[in-house]
Structure 1
Amino acid sequence: MFAKKINAAKAGIAALAIAGAFTATLPAAQAEGTVNIYSYRQPALIQPLLDAFTAKTGIKTEVLFLDKGLEDRIAAEGTNSPADVVLTVDIGRLINVKEKGVAQSVDDETVNAEIPAEFRDPEGQWFGVTTRGRVIYASKDRVEQDTITYEELADPKWKGKICMRSGQHNYNLALFASMIAHHGEEKTEEWMKGLKANLARKPDGGDRNQAQSIFAGECDLGIGNTYYVGLMMTNEKEPEQKDWAKAIKVLFPNSGDRGTHVNISGMAMAKNAPNRENALELMRFLASAEAQAIYAETNHEYPVLPGAKVSETVKSFGEIKPDSLPLADIAKYRKAASEMVDRVGLDDGPSS
């Protein structure tokens, strides 16, 4: 039987495992009426969406959750893979699904009509479903201004006042790639040197930790995704995170010109999907206004479909004007961005 919601790390699945290590335990293709999902997204984050899909279509869903090695597992399973649909976050991972040859092209009138061109692969091998802005967390107490640009992060007036996670993290690489796409490598590298000089400390932690540092007075600005603000605001298990969220305001960079860099959660149809028609039904559903509203509210994200409902929590962040540069164009510069982070020594911190 198809394994449900297995954590890859606990299952001991290596990112680059030998094909035989997987095929020995592969299940047979599922019967009609089922769609098999390989997901990098936590099961709890997608279950409301899948429940709504089953209620609407009668098609059951089976979820295999992995925290790493998803693309390699599908590749190793080959033509026997039960995977129908891949769900993941970040343009880098979606590009990786395509480049590793584990997705197939989908040219569907319904899906294409609902998802704007800048949020889908020109060859139909991946599609964005929701977006999250890469924004600036700013101290409510110590930062008076309510507007900012990414370019301004290199201004010496912020020296010792910026916190961020590793520059090599996918979320930051996507932002840096967008800077290269807009300004070219030479200007972006000078900007990155200025950003490094303004850091309060060596890049560390996750996005929420940057809000924590602002709350603690260690810095005034942090770089983070919008949805983490929602996660902090609604965190009942760790209520101290609500205090971190209350300490910050969300600034949407470049709202006055090109718009704020956004990344996506997305979907792709697996190359050898045994339940292709059911997979297509799921993709059509995920592209719909109904599904995007559910998905976006559950995860504190923005629907890609213009006019789809935005949750009250997300509305409280402020209005976002997304950068219209196609993500496929941004993704081309991810390797250059990664090399630049190392060349500049961004992750070494401000004093290096």
Structure 2
Amino acid sequence: MSVKSRLYAAALTSCLLAGPAFAQSVNLYTTREPALLNPVIEAFTKDTGIKVNAVFLKDGLQERIKAEGANSPADVMLLVDVGQINDASDAGITQPIQSALVDKTVPAALRGPGNNWVTLTQRARIVVASKDRVQQDAITYEELADPKWKGKFCIRAGQHPYNNAFFAAYLARNGAEKTEAYLKALKANTARKPGGGDREVARDILSGQCDIAVINTYYIGLMSQAKNEQKGWYDAIKPLKSSFAGGGTHVNVSAAAIAKNAPNKENAVKLVEYMLGEKAQHLYADGNFEYPVNADVKEAASVKLLGALTPDTTPLGDVAKNRKAASELVDKVGFDN
């Protein structure tokens, strides 16, 4: 049995010994959809006897916990986007996650500063291209600035959180001067004004408006199962193996943090640990074609459809710190104009 397997077994055993069903509880605040999380919540309760009281919020999660103050019932926060989870940490409403299992399972680059948050699943931002008009199967993000793509590149708004994180990662790796030049070159290559959604860039590849685009991987998975026109959009594109030059693929994340004043801290740690186990990783990641963070999960739906993922090693905490500067550069070059 591997070290991680022994840690999972020990964590689960401690949960099972804690008491009869529903004798204990944990309070989860999240911005994720109930349909995505409920299967994991139900499995956790069944396997551990710990009831999850879930509060689903479209927005305002951080503000609510701040308003509740020291008496907040929140134990665990589950958010999407490195900016959102890092903002919660910066606001002082989280605490370090002390868990040997977390440290063994999640690479340091995918944990927040001081272990104040931890990645649960990854959503890669990759390049897709026309199956018919583009021959290559791999690309670096830097190559998108090549003039050969002039009038052939599509992307949603540069100020959208997905692209803000992508450009912040580029900035963290390359500095402001090179990033400004990169943004100017990308804009010069666009086939249309940046905008729309990620799925719309696939639509525009099908129509011939562009040949190449940037998209989050889970949208590819969702389009592959579509029963409407989006299935045709999916059929028109192919994912390219995408990476930074000398690095890996840019990822954004869904992540968990333990609330600063968590009244059920022990159960909060148990829930986070459980969500990193193979069973929960399948339930959670496969529900939205996201990539598991647990490297032992080999048969995820995203991997079957798109291949294995090698995340870039730039710490996501550094990416989060560069978001504001990246946003300012997007405005400076008039990227979305």
TM over 0.5: yes
Deviation at 1:92, TM superposition (A): 0.6
Q: Which amino acid aligns with 1:59?
A: I
Task: Indicate conservation of the 8 Å contact 1:230/1:314, yes or no.
Answer: no
Task: Indicate conservation of the 8 Å contact 1:180/1:188, yes or no.
Answer: yes
Q: What secondary structure, in the 3-state scheme, does the structure 1 residue paired with 2:309 have?
A: coil
The partner residue of 1:165 within 156, 160, 163 is 156
Query: For residue 76 of structure 1, what is the aligned residue in structure 2?
Result: 67
Q: 1:92 to 1:313 in 2, by over 3 A?
A: closer
Percent identity between the two aligned chains: 52
Deviation at 1:255, TM superposition (A): 7.2
Q: 1:198 to 1:213 in 2, by over 3 A?
A: same
Task: Indicate conservation of the 8 Å contact 2:23/2:49, yes or no.
Answer: no
Query: For residue 323 of structure 2, what is the aligned residue in structure 1?
Result: 334
Task: Indicate conservation of the 8 Å contact 1:255/1:321, yes or no.
Answer: no
Q: 1:96 to 1:280 in 2, by over 3 A?
A: same
The partner residue of 1:36 within 13, 21, 27 is 27
Q: Which amino acid aligns with 1:322?
A: P
Task: Indicate conservation of the 8 Å contact 1:303/1:310, yes or no.
Answer: no
Q: Which amino acid aligns with 1:45?
A: L
Task: Indicate conservation of the 8 Å contact 1:115/1:127, yes or no.
Answer: yes
The partner residue of 2:229 within 240, 259, 262 is 240
Task: Indicate conservation of the 8 Å contact 1:37/1:87, yes or no.
Answer: yes
Please give the root-mean-square deviation of Cα atoms over the aligned residues, in Å. 1.6
Distance, in Å, in 2 between the alignment partners of 1:313 and 1:325 is 22
Q: What secondary structure, in the 3-state scheme, does the structure 2 residue paired with 1:338 have?
A: helix
- State how many pairs are aligned: 316
Task: Indicate yes or no: 2:279 matched with 1:290.
Answer: yes
Query: For residue 261 of structure 1, what is the aligned residue in structure 2?
Result: 250
Task: Indicate yes or no: 2:203 matched with 1:212.
Answer: yes
Task: Indicate conservation of the 8 Å contact 2:303/2:309, yes or no.
Answer: no
The partner residue of 1:103 within 88, 91, 94 is 94
Task: Indicate conservation of the 8 Å contact 2:32/2:78, yes or no.
Answer: yes
Query: For residue 306 of structure 2, what is the aligned residue in structure 1?
Result: 317
Task: Indicate conservation of the 8 Å contact 2:28/2:74, yes or no.
Answer: yes
Deviation at 1:143, TM superposition (A): 1.2
Deviations 1:126-147 (A, max 9, x none): 0001111110121111111111
Distance, in Å, in 2 between the alignment partners of 1:250 and 1:202 is 22
Task: Indicate conservation of the 8 Å contact 2:122/2:291, yes or no.
Answer: yes
Q: What secondary structure, in the 3-state scheme, does the structure 1 residue paired with 2:314 have?
A: coil
TM-score (norm 2): 0.90
Query: For residue 281 of structure 1, what is the aligned residue in structure 2?
Result: 270
Unaligned runs of 5+ in 1: 1-30
Distance, in Å, in 1 between the alignment partners of 2:189 and 2:236 is 21
Query: For residue 272 of structure 1, what is the aligned residue in structure 2?
Result: 261
Q: 1:147 to 1:266 in 2, by over 3 A?
A: same
Q: Which amino acid aligns with 1:145?
A: Q
Query: For residue 240 of structure 2, what is the aligned residue in structure 1?
Result: 251
Q: What secondary structure, in the 3-state scheme, does the structure 2 residue paired with 1:134 have?
A: strand
Task: Indicate yes or no: 2:38 matched with 1:58.
Answer: no
Q: What secondary structure, in the 3-state scheme, does the structure 2 residue paired with 1:346 have?
A: coil
Q: 1:168 to 1:32 in 2, by over 3 A?
A: farther
Q: Which amino acid aligns with 2:85?
A: L
Deviation at 1:62, TM superposition (A): 2.0
Deviation at 1:161, TM superposition (A): 1.1
Q: Which structure has greater helix proportion? A: 2
Query: For residue 3 of structure 1, what is the aligned residue in structure 2?
Result: none
Q: What secondary structure, in the 3-state scheme, does the structure 1 residue paired with 2:138 have?
A: coil
Q: What secondary structure, in the 3-state scheme, does the structure 1 residue paired with 2:190 have?
A: coil
Unaligned runs of 5+ in 2: 1-21
